[in-house]
Amino acid sequence: MNDHPLIIAMDVPDKSEADALLASFGQTPLFLKVGMELFYKEGPALVEEWKAEGHRVFLDLKLHDIPNTVQRAAAQLARLQVDLVTVHAAGGSRMMARAVEGLEQGTPFGKKRPACIAVTQLTSTSEAVLNEELGIPLSMNEAVTAYADLAERSGQDGVVCAAGEVPLIKSTCSRSFLTVTPGIRRAGEEAGDQTRVVTPGVAAELGSDAIVVGRSITGAIDPTRAYEQMEQEWRMSDAK
């Protein structure tokens, strides 16, 4: 993840839409995020196909269950040879540690295990929801930093957070601890269901290791142009 990728969230209903979108980007290997919508429809075959074509795959299933179940599920994901997977930090330290154990068990001999990153607080969650609905009586910065610290102590390779929280996490956790940031929008664009959003340029200035962009690209009239523009903004402001 040293190359600071822009990861495209392929939030489309099926393989035919995903393939059409991919075809518009040309032949370059990309970093593609497969989330629940596409995975529940197409299953492992699509992931294997994209890996065989040379794409990197972020399989974003946000595991959150008892430690034994998460460990066994993580082993299955590692068998797919994906690059990045997610768990919810709210599952606790034992669950997160067992996720990494499962990934190690499932990784084929001689291959690199998928990186495991923990969702701190969803970028759709506001501080009001954190306090009033989730019952966490902390500021968003405090909650996200506490989860990131727990995730690092539980053997995670990094976290999912909003870009605004990256400087705090980098000062609390080790510098190499990954920060992967969704909640990315172009200037003036609707945030939709996201509440903690920034532009690609601001995410770069704040030190994000990778940005995740979905609807700004997949919902654009010209997805290729949207991808290229956002990638350029992300690279140009790259202060790392």
Could you list the active site residues? Answer: 60, 62, 65
> Is residue 57 helix, strand or coil?
strand
11 is in an annotated binding site: yes
To ligand LLZGTKA7, the closest distance from the beta carbon of 13 in angstroms equals 13
To ligand LLZGTKA7, the closest distance from the beta carbon of 10 in angstroms equals 8
To ligand LLZGTKA7, the closest distance from the beta carbon of 218 in angstroms equals 7
Provide the binding-site residues for ligand LLZGTKA7, judged by CB under 6 A: 9, 11, 35, 119, 122-123, 160, 182-184, 194, 212-216
> Is residue 211 helix, strand or coil?
strand
Nearer to ligand LLZGTKA7, 68 or 200 (CB): 200
63 is in an annotated binding site: yes
To ligand LLZGTKA7, the closest distance from the beta carbon of 108 in angstroms equals 27
Q: Which of 12, 15, 33, 51 is nearest to 184 (CA)?
A: 33
Report the residue number whose CB is nearest to ligand LLZGTKA7: 214
Nearer to ligand LLZGTKA7, 170 or 186 (CB): 186
Kindly give, in sequence order, each residue whose CB lies less than 8 Å from that of residue 212, ignoring residues fewer than 6 positions away.
7, 9, 33, 58, 160, 180, 181, 182, 184
- Other beta carbons within 10 Å of 195: 17
185 is in an annotated binding site: yes
Q: Which two tokens stand for residue 209?
A: 């290791």
68 is in an annotated binding site: yes
Query: Which residues are bridge partners to 117 per DSSP?
Result: 86, 158
Q: What are phi and psi of 181, to 5 degrees?
A: -125, 110
Please give the annotated binding residues, written as ranges.
11, 33, 60-69, 123, 185, 194, 214-215
